[in-house]
Every structure is written in structure tokens, then in C-alpha cells.
Structure 1
Amino acid sequence: MTASVPPVRARHRAALAVVLCAGLTATLTACGGEDPDKGTNGVGRLTAAQIEKKAQTAAASADAVRLAGKLVSKGGTYQLDMRLREKGGTGSVVSKESTFELLRIGDDLYLKADSGFWSHDEKPGADAHAGGAAADKLQDKYVKVPEGDPTYKQLRGFTEKKTLLDGLLTLHGTLDKGDRGTVGPTRTIRIKGGKGGKGEGGMLDVSLEGTPYPLRFARAAGGGIVTLSDWGKDFPLQAPAKEDTVDYGQQLPKTSS
């Protein structure tokens, strides 16, 4: 006669199996679950600190990147769309009061903006007509920014890959791993800085496909959100034509940026 398992004992075994399956990590598929890192680059299995380091290394080794989104700083709020590489960059910057384009090739920095970008500190008796004439002259023309100009360093910072990425790819506080998600069609893993895993120290979404590039960054304290794309994709940088360039002189007029 064939032995049979008492119904009560069978139920106990089934319950035990459920408990064991619930306690195992998602990387085990014996209980019917699916490994969330299957088919990925494996970064999701690392600690938050290791993921951050991987993303920073990948970003530093890439020849080029496109950065788009909003940055909030003491100097104001800026909407950026910049393509950057080691020795130059090009793109647009929109602030509360103005819109302008930047082009840098090595140390040569060019600025193009509409007349609303340019302004002078007008004092009593100042010639407003002269200021308007200067703005009309500069409108929609490239102006080569003198390296000694007070705004050169500020404007150049928008075109520097290392400067921008160094400020974007460092989280503050204790690091924690967050949820898996997507940025566009690409699967990602999120890491968060701060206390208690809330992300108040910034949040970074890192690619789980191919090279672990950072794909989206939310700055701490509402400092803006930017997306990073086109990693390693080269783009042309060419000085503007002479007829499209205005030589303003040794120092630009003060701007409203």
C-alpha cells in the first residue's frame, strides 16, 4: 500500500515553502521569482557606494555627453541644453531674464543672445539710446568673450564637462539603494543620498544596460533635475563665421544673467 502524507502535514510544508521563498533574495528563481538583474550589467547587485563610484568612473571616461534640464543655484535658475566634451561645448542656457547660446572651442568662448540679454547699469543721465544701439549691434551675433572679462569664468563653466559633472554626480549624506526603474527605454537603478533613504542629499539613476552611465540626477534641496544622454557621441565644434561675429572689445557690457 502506498504511503500518503497526512493533509495537515502537507499544509505545514506548503506554508514553510512560502516563508522560505519570501525570505530569499530576488536573485533566486527556484521559488518562481525572476532575477531583476538578469540581462543587466550587474550594477544593481552592488552597494550604493559602489554604484556611485561606477557611475563617476564611466562619466569621467566618456569623451562627450549631452546635459539637459534645470539647475537652481544662488545665482538663479537656469534651463540648460548643452553638449559637452573635454575641450569644448555648445548649447543654450535660459535664465529668468534672458536666453543665450554658448560655444567654446578650447579657450575661445563665444556668446550669442538677443537684445534682451544685454543691459547696462544705468545711472541718472545715462544715455539709454547708446545702450540700446549696443544691444542692437550684438543681437543674434556671436561675441567672443574676452578671457579677462568678469563674466568669462561664469559663462565658461556652463561649457565645461568636468565642472558640471563634478557638481552633479556626488550625492551627500548616507547612500542608499532605491528602486529600479527606467530613464527613457533604459533600465536603471537609483541611489539616494541623505538620511533614512529619502533622497534629500540627491538622487542618481544609473544605467543597468551596457556601461553604467548616470542618466538622470535630482540635485539636493530642490536644486533641479537634469538628464544625461548621448554618452561618448562626438559632435562638431566649429568657430562661427566672421560675418556672424562681433568684436565688442576688452570687456562686455554687464549682463542680466
Structure 2
Amino acid sequence: MCLGLAACSGEDPDAGTNGVAKLTAPKIQSRTVKAAQGAGAVHLSGTVVSSGHSYKIDMRLKDEGGTGSVTTGGRTFQLLRVKEHLFLKADADFWTHQDSKGSDSTAHGDTAAADKLDGKYVKVPQGDPAYKRLSGFTVKGALLDGLLTLHGKVEKGDRGSSDGVRTVELTGDKGAGGTLDVSLEGTPYPLRLERAGGAGTLQLTDWGKDFTLSEPGKSEMVDYGAQLPTS
């Protein structure tokens, strides 16, 4: 008795794929991490929960830097990094209400100072504590290394799809340690990640699709020198 259409027809469920679904889970994981590390660029979007704070991110990243937006605490700011130079852009409300002592803040100031910063890129000094925290959203290699880690025993799950692309699922600790959907079409890039412990869900798209990075012009930027504006 035939137990399934594929068995009856003799069809290969991996026909037309890149074949990685036939590999063991550790080998699939190794290939997808290698593919991600070797890609020239990626578009990362979704949510990340870290140190009790939730961040909605929409970033385009490559080795030389990145650009995009981060939303946390109901406020959104733009980040742009070109090599070692990091820039932050936000509206006056953001600058007025930030608490410089908060773990996810950058600076706060009075209304007059905030108005000057409204819609302008502010160069973040490398010596400012905010530089390391904010630049972390723009460093492709380090960000991917941290996000693509599955905790616990890695196992192969079901075949599925992500935005119409066929995928195979990898799970850590039966899903408690995270779930990663790997492309079965073309290069085995990671396409969707559910982080362990409910720490966010991310879509990874536009692998290898280059984009232009350039520093803002003088009319678009405010340089505060040694530290970000505070009051």
C-alpha cells in the first residue's frame, strides 16, 4: 500500500533544490553560517529583545558598514555607519526625551538643542559609550554571528517556505534554543530566525545585493566633537 503520493510516484522531495535538506543538521548549520558570512550584503528586519529591551530593526548591512532604522521605547532613530564613522539621526522629540542614564539611550537635551538636531545626522564619537552600543546594529559579521547561534542540540525539522522560497528548518533544543529556516533554493542562506527564549524574530533577505553607503553632507550633519549632546 502506498503511504504517500511521493512514495507512489517515486518523486524526490528534494528535486530542484540545492540538496542541503539531505544533509545532517550540523552540516546544514555549517553551510548556512558559511554562506551568511561569505555574502557581501544582507537586509535584516524584525525584532530583537536584549537586556530587557525590545528593538525593532530594519537594517541593510555589508562589511563596510550599514544603514537603516531602529525603534525602541516607541521612538525611532536612523543609523548610518561608513567604515569607522557612525551617524545617528532622529527627530527633536527623540533628543528631548532620551535619558542619558538609561541603558538604551544616547542623550537628552533641552528643546532648543533638540530643535537644532531635528532631522540631522549627529556624528557619534568613537570614545562615547553610545558608539559601541549603537554600532553593534551596523556590524554585519558580529551581528550575524550572534543572531544565527542555535542553542542546545541542533536538529533538522520540516520542509516549508519563507516568502515563497522553499526551506528546511533547523531547531536548537527542539525549538527552545531557536529556529532557523534555511533556503533550499540556490545558496543555502538563512531566511528566517526565531531567537531562543522569545528574544525576537528576524527576516534575512537580499543576500549579496549591494547598496551604496556614503557619509552625509555637511548640510545634513552636526558634529559635536568629543561626545554626544547632553544636558
String of CA shifts for 1:164-204, please: whole Å, max 9, x gaps: 1011111000111111111112100001001xx2x010000
- 1:1-257 correspondence to structure 2 within 5 Å: 18=1, 22=3, 31-118=8-95, 119=98, 131-194=110-173, 197=174, 199-253=175-229
Amino acid at match of 2:187: T
- Helix, strand or coil: the match of 1:31? helix
1:254 CA displacement: 5.4
Question: Matches of 1:238 and 1:229 in 2, distance apart?
Answer: 22
Would you say the 8 A contact 1:82–1:159 is kept in 2? Answer: yes
Residue number in structure 1 paired with 2:105: none
1:105 CA displacement: 0.5
- Helix, strand or coil: the match of 1:51? helix
- Helix, strand or coil: the match of 2:9? coil
Question: Matches of 1:98 and 1:143 in 2, distance apart?
Answer: 17
Change (3 A) 1:120 1:186: closer
Question: Matches of 1:179 and 1:30 in 2, distance apart?
Answer: 17
What is the root-mean-square deviation in Å for CA atoms of aligned residues? 2.0
Q: After the TM superposition, which of the residue ranges 140-149 and 110-119 deviates more from structure 2?
A: 110-119
- Helix, strand or coil: the match of 2:110? helix
Amino acid at match of 2:135: R
Amino acid at match of 1:89: G
1:32 CA displacement: 2.2
Unaligned runs of 5+ in 1: 1-17, 123-129
Equivalent pairs counted in the alignment come to 222
String of CA shifts for 1:96-154, please: whole Å, max 9, x gaps: 142100110000001100122223569xxxxxxx7111111111100111110110000
Question: Matches of 1:121 and 1:160 in 2, distance apart?
Answer: 23
Change (3 A) 1:132 1:30: closer
Question: Matches of 1:250 and 1:214 in 2, distance apart?
Answer: 39
Question: Matches of 2:27 and 2:128 in 1, distance apart?
Answer: 41
Identity %: 58
String of CA shifts for 1:55-93, please: whole Å, max 9, x gaps: 000001101000000001115110000000001100000
Change (3 A) 1:254 1:178: farther
Task: Specify the structure having the higher radius of gyration (Cα).
Answer: 1
Would you say the 8 A contact 1:64–1:233 is kept in 2? Answer: yes
1:33 CA displacement: 4.5
Residue number in structure 1 paired with 2:106: none
Would you say the 8 A contact 2:6–2:13 is kept in 1? Answer: no
Would you say the 8 A contact 1:120–1:253 is kept in 2? Answer: no
Would you say the 8 A contact 1:120–1:131 is kept in 2? Answer: no
Change (3 A) 1:30 1:187: closer
Unaligned runs of 5+ in 2: 102-108
